[in-house]
Amino acid sequence: MKFIHTADLHIGKVVNEFSMLEEQKHVLSQILTIVKEEKADGLILAGDIYDRSVPSAEAVLVLDQFLSEATKLGIQIFMISGNHDSPERIGFAQRIVEDKGLYIEGMIRGNMNPVVMEDEYGKLNIYMLPFAKPAIVRHQYQDDNIVTCEDGVRKMITESGVDGKKRNLLITHHFVTSTGKPPEQSESESDLLLGGAENVDASVFEAFDYVALGHIHGPQRMGRDTIRYSGSPIKYSFSEVFHKKSVTIVELKEKGEVSLSVRELVPIHNMRKIKGTLEELMKEEVYSLAEVNDYLHVTLLDKQELFDPMGTLRSVYPNVMQIAFEKNERKEHENNINITNARNKSIYEHFKDFYASVAGEELEGEYETCMKEVIEEIGGDRS
C-alpha cells in the first residue's frame, strides 16, 4: 500500500504582502503528478489545509479544484484539520464525499473509527486524529485527568482500541517531541499552547506502523523514521530558505515493514537571502548569478543614508519581500559616557564618540577627513 504524505498547505497564505495562491496551485499540481507517477493508493493531507479558520473565497476554490482532480485519480484521500483550520468548515459534508474516496475528519467526535483498506498483505487500519486542544478531548470523554495534548491523544488511542499487532497508520496534527526533544521549528509556525501543554511524546504512537504528522514545516523524523513530519510544500518564511520542500512516499508491506522516500517539489519562485551594498547588488554581474524573480530578504551593508532602497532593488529584483540594514556590534564601553572626561573633549572627539555609538564602528577614512574639515570650517575646536 503506497501513500503520498503532505501537510501544512496553508492555502490562501500571504507572506510579507505577497499572495502565495499561484505558488500553491503550482505545487498542488506537482503533487497530483507525483500521485500518478508513483501509482499511489492514497493521499494524506495532515492538517493546516487553509492558513486561517475563515479562508478566502479564492483559497476555497483552489482546494476545491485540487480535491476534484485528486478524486478523479481513483485514489483514497485522507484529510484532517490542523490548528489553523476551522474544524467545522473542514469537516463540512464529510459523510457525503466518502463515496468519492475522500475521507475528512475536521473535529473529534469520540473514538476513532478506522478506514480499512486491503492489499496482498491484508488489512490496513487508517486512523485520523485532527488537532484538538485538551479541553475538547476532556469534554468529549468527561475526564478531568486530561490536561495536556498528550493526555488527550493517549486517551483517544486507548479508547479507540488500537491493536498494535495489526497494520495501523495514524494521521494527526500535533506538536510531537521525542523524549522531550522538540522538532526543529521555523518562524512561520504558530505556537499552540504555553508551558509545554501541546507536547505529545512519540512513545504514544507505539501501536502504529506509520504516523503521518502535520504542523512543523521542515521535513523530519521524530523518535523513529516512521513517525514523520512531511513538512510544508512551500517555503513560508526566510527561516526556511535552506529547507528542501518535498512530499514523503510511504509504502507499507507486511506488519512492521515500511519503506520511505521523498520527491522534491519545485516552486515557481524560490525564497533566498542576499547581502551586499545597494551598488553591488544592482550590478549585472551580481544579479545575473541567480534568478532575480525569487522572493528575497536583502541585507544592505551601506553606511550612508539611502533614498528609496526598496524601489531601487525592485527595479531589478521585483519580489523583494524584506530589507534589513546590517551594523557592526557595538562595544559595550563605547555606549558608556564618562561625564568627567566629556568636559575635556573637543568637538571632534565628541562627534567621534557619537559616531562609534551609532554606527558601531570607528570614524575613519574619508568620513573622518570630511568631519575634520567641517569642524575646522565652522571654527570649532579653537583653543
Into how many domains does the chain fold? 3
**Is 382 a member of any domain?**
no
Please report whether residue 205 resides in a domain.
yes
The residue out of 264, 291, 311 marking a domain boundary is: 264
Three-state DSSP at 371 gives: helix
Q: Quick one: 110 and 177 in the same domain?
A: yes
| Helix, strand counts (H, E) of the chain | 12, 19
| Residue 127 domain-assigned (yes or no) | yes
- 241 and 172 belong to one structural domain: yes
Last residue of a domain, one of 264, 294, 316: 264
Which CATH number is 136's domain given? 3.60.21.10
Q: How many CB atoms lie within 10 A of CB 34?
A: 19
Q: Tell whether 92 and 178 lie within a shared domain.
A: yes
CB burial of 42-55 (b: ≥16 within 10 Å; e: otherwise) equals bbbbbbbbbbeeeb
Look up the domain containing 311 and give its range.
Answer: 271-325
Residue 100 and residue 231 in one domain: yes
Phi first, then psi: give them for residue 357, nearest 5 degrees: -70, -40
Domain end point (choices 325, 346, 361): 325
What pLDDT tens digit does each residue of the chain (383 aa) get?
999 999 999 999 999 999 999 999 999 999 999 999 999 999 999 999 999 999 999 999 999 999 999 999 999 999 999 999 999 999 888 888 998 999 999 999 889 999 999 999 999 999 999 999 999 999 999 999 999 999 999 999 999 999 999 999 999 999 999 988 999 988 877 654 555 678 999 999 999 999 999 999 999 999 999 999 999 999 999 999 999 999 999 999 999 999 999 999 999 999 999 999 999 999 999 999 999 999 999 999 998 889 999 999 999 999 999 999 986 544 444 444 454 455 567 887 877 788 777 666 788 888 788 888 888 787 766 54
Residues 275 and 260 in one domain: no
Range 215-227 burial, b when 16+ CB lie within 10 A, else e: bbbbbeebbeebb
Shared domain for 253 and 301, answered yes or no, is no
Q: Are residues 204 and 63 in the same domain?
A: yes
Please compute, for residue 251, the number of CA atoms within 13 A of its CA located in the half-sphere on the CB side.
10
| Confidence at residue 380, expressed as pLDDT on a 0 to 100 scale | 62
The angle subtended at Cα 166 by Cα 163 and Cα 169, nearest 5°, is: 90
Q: In this structure, is residue 200 part of a structural domain?
A: yes
pLDDT the model gives residue 330:
43
250 lies in the same domain as 276:
no
> Can you give the pLDDT at residue 264?
97
| pLDDT given at position 351 | 79
- The predicted-structure confidence for 244-292, as pLDDT tens digits, reads as follows 999 999 999 999 999 999 999 999 999 999 999 999 999 999 999 999 9
Q: Report the distance separating Cα 36 and Cα 122, nearest Å.
A: 23
Do residues 28 and 165 share a domain? yes
Size (the chain), residues? 383
Is 285 contained in some domain?
yes
pLDDT at 334: 43
Residues 194 and 64 in one domain: yes
Q: Tell me if 383 is assigned to some domain.
A: no
Residue 219 lies in a domain: yes
Instruction: Tell me, yes or no, whether 209 lies in a domain.
Output: yes
3 state DSSP class of 157: helix
Residues 200 and 100 reside in one and the same domain:
yes
Do 340 and 224 belong together in one domain? no
Would you state the pLDDT for residue 303?
85
- Separation between Cα atoms, residue 241 and residue 296, nearest integer Å: 10
Helix (H) or strand (E) holding 140: helix 134-141
